[in-house]
Amino acid sequence: MKLSREVKTGIIVIGGILLFIMGFSYLKSTPIFDNSKTFYAVYPNVGGLQSGTSVSINGFSVGKVNDIKFLDEKGNLLVTFTVSNDFKFSKTSLVELYDTGIIGGKGLQIRPVFDATGIAQSGDTLKTETRPGITDLAQQKLTPLVRKFESAISDADSVLVNVNSVLDSKTKKELKEVIGGLNVLISSLNQSATSLNSVLEGNKEKLDNSFKNFDVLTSNFAKLSDSLNSAGLGRTL
């Protein structure tokens, strides 16, 4: 059976349209024949989340982000994503926005909840939560330290200002005079100590003899006291 030119042209056109639709769907990360459920999540800030990012449950990829757009005048963002029908969870489950690595990148993961509120259906808007990343945690820890450091610097500046206000030209002059007087006093004490050392050195022999005589006198006095005690002076008196 021979096909006419018009039929061939129609087949080519239809095939081209189908290829165009399939290619466009591939670029949009939206398969044509897909029975996944579509869900929505609202965030005040997505932190650089991109369309096509994988959505996971317990670390296993179950879907992807399809679209991100502004929701209202406050700047809230509506994230549209799909999840495969292989895993069912409650409509009270959380969609967590988290850091995928240290150098950046955001991902979505569903923290499934199983309760009696009902299974999440396509078109539901799920509750959201943002998990702080390493940068956010570091900033939270460092911010109080930075504030304390800034406060310490401010206090030090205040002390220096007060010291400068107290130490005017007159006070500085008086302090210099006091320090000069202390230097003179220390010099005099050094001279006196030198003189005393000279005197002691020159009379060392006499001092030694004096100490020896004092030792002898003390010994004689002790002997005299023993003699008096032996003689019964107390009974005699």
Q: Is 41 in the same domain as 108?
A: yes
Question: Is 212 within a domain?
Answer: no
Q: Are 111 and 81 in contact (CB under 8 A)?
A: no
- The last residue of a domain, from among 112, 131, 150: 131
Residues 122 and 73 grouped into a single domain:
yes
Q: At 69, is the pLDDT very low, low, confident or very high (cuts 50, 70, 90)? A: very high
120 plus 81 within the same structural domain: yes
Query: How many CB atoms neighbour CB 46 within 10 A?
Result: 18
Which domain range does residue 27 map to?
Answer: 1-33
Across the chain, mean pLDDT equals 79
Other beta carbons within 10 Å of 95: 23
Predicted confidence (pLDDT) at residue 192 exceeds the cutoff of 80: yes
The two structure tokens encoding residue 161? 């200002």
Q: Are residues 19 and 70 in the same domain?
A: no
pLDDT at 125: 92
In a domain, 15, yes or no: yes
Looking at the structure, tell me whether residues 39 and 107 fall in a common domain: yes
Residues 134-169 pLDDT 10s: 665 556 666 777 677 777 777 777 777 666 666 667
Answer whether residue 166 is part of any domain. no
Element (H, E) at 83: strand 77-83
Q: Which of 47, 134, 29 is nearest to 96 (CA)?
A: 47
In a domain, 76, yes or no: yes
Examine the domain organization and report whether 48 and 61 are in the same domain: yes
Query: 88 and 3, same structural domain?
Result: no
Residue 45 lies in a domain: yes
Question: Quick check: 44 and 77 in contact, CB under 8 A?
Answer: yes
Determine, yes or no, domain membership for 228: no
pLDDT tens per residue across span 77-135: 999 999 988 888 898 999 999 888 666 678 899 999 888 788 899 899 999 998 876 66
The percentage of the chain sitting over the pLDDT mark of 70, rounded to a whole number, equals 76
How many folded domains does the chain comprise?
Answer: 2
Domain end residue (candidates: 76, 98, 131): 131
| pLDDT above 70 for 28 | no
Residues 39 and 123 in one domain: yes
* 225 within a domain of the structure (yes/no): no
Q: Are residue 85 and residue 115 in the same domain, yes or no?
A: yes
pLDDT for the residue numbered 26: 59
- On whether residue 186 sits in a domain, the answer given is no
Confidence of residue 208 (pLDDT cuts 50, 70, 90): confident
Examine the pLDDT at 66 and tell me if it is beyond 90: yes
Do residues 78 and 109 share a domain?
Answer: yes
pTM: 0.49
Do 55 and 87 belong together in one domain? Answer: yes
Closest CA to 92 of 69, 110, 76, 109: 110
- Select from 131, 165, 185 the last residue of a domain: 131
pLDDT of 233 strictly over 60: no
Examine the domain organization and report whether 44 and 28 are in the same domain: no
